[in-house]
Amino acid sequence: MPTIKVSDDSFESDVLGSETPVLVDFWAEWCAPCKQIAPALEELSEEFDGKVTIAKVNIDDDPETPAKFHIRGVPTLMIFKGGEVVATKSGAHAKSKLSEWIAENLDGGQVA
């Protein structure tokens, strides 16, 4: 499943109300590290298909949600389970590190 775009309007239903864990990538168009990790997140969305949804929130287009979660820099990644933040990671990281972080924060989650 490809990454999904989430807005301030859809955040509650797409992320907080999701049955599946959701990794939210808070990013911006002008952010080079955000662009650097985007391909890895797309690949990870396929690898973790059915285990986690990867969503993207553009902080410039949708500023309310990042403000609610006190996002101070991009990229910031947050994993939500049952409407609660269970893990946060800031900055650009290698795909392998992101994969490990996702797996660690899913209940018994392993890369398929």
Catalytic residue among 34, 41, 52, 78, which? Answer: 34
User: Is residue 31 annotated as a catalytic residue, yes or no?
Assistant: yes
Report the predicted TM-score, pTM, of the whole model to 2 decimal places.
Answer: 0.93
Average pLDDT estimate for 90-107:
95
In the prediction, which pLDDT does 48 show? 96
**Among all chains, which residue has been given the structure tokens 């509650």?**
12
Contact present, 95 and 43 (Cβ < 8 Å): yes
Q: Where are the chain's structural domains? A: 4-104
In the prediction, which pLDDT does 112 show? 40
Q: What is the pLDDT of residues 4-62, one digit of tens each?
A: 999 999 999 999 999 999 999 999 999 999 999 999 999 999 999 999 999 999 999 99
Question: Who contacts 21 (Cβ-Cβ below 8 Å, separation ≥6)?
Answer: 51, 52, 53, 79, 80, 81, 86, 105, 106
Give CA angle at 5 (75, 18), nearest 5°: 100
User: Which of the four CATH numbers 3.40.50.720, 3.10.20.30, 3.30.1050.10, 3.40.30.10 does domain 4-104 have?
Assistant: 3.40.30.10
Catalytic residue among 31, 52, 57, 106, which? Answer: 31
**Among all chains, which residue has been given the structure tokens 């500023």?**
63
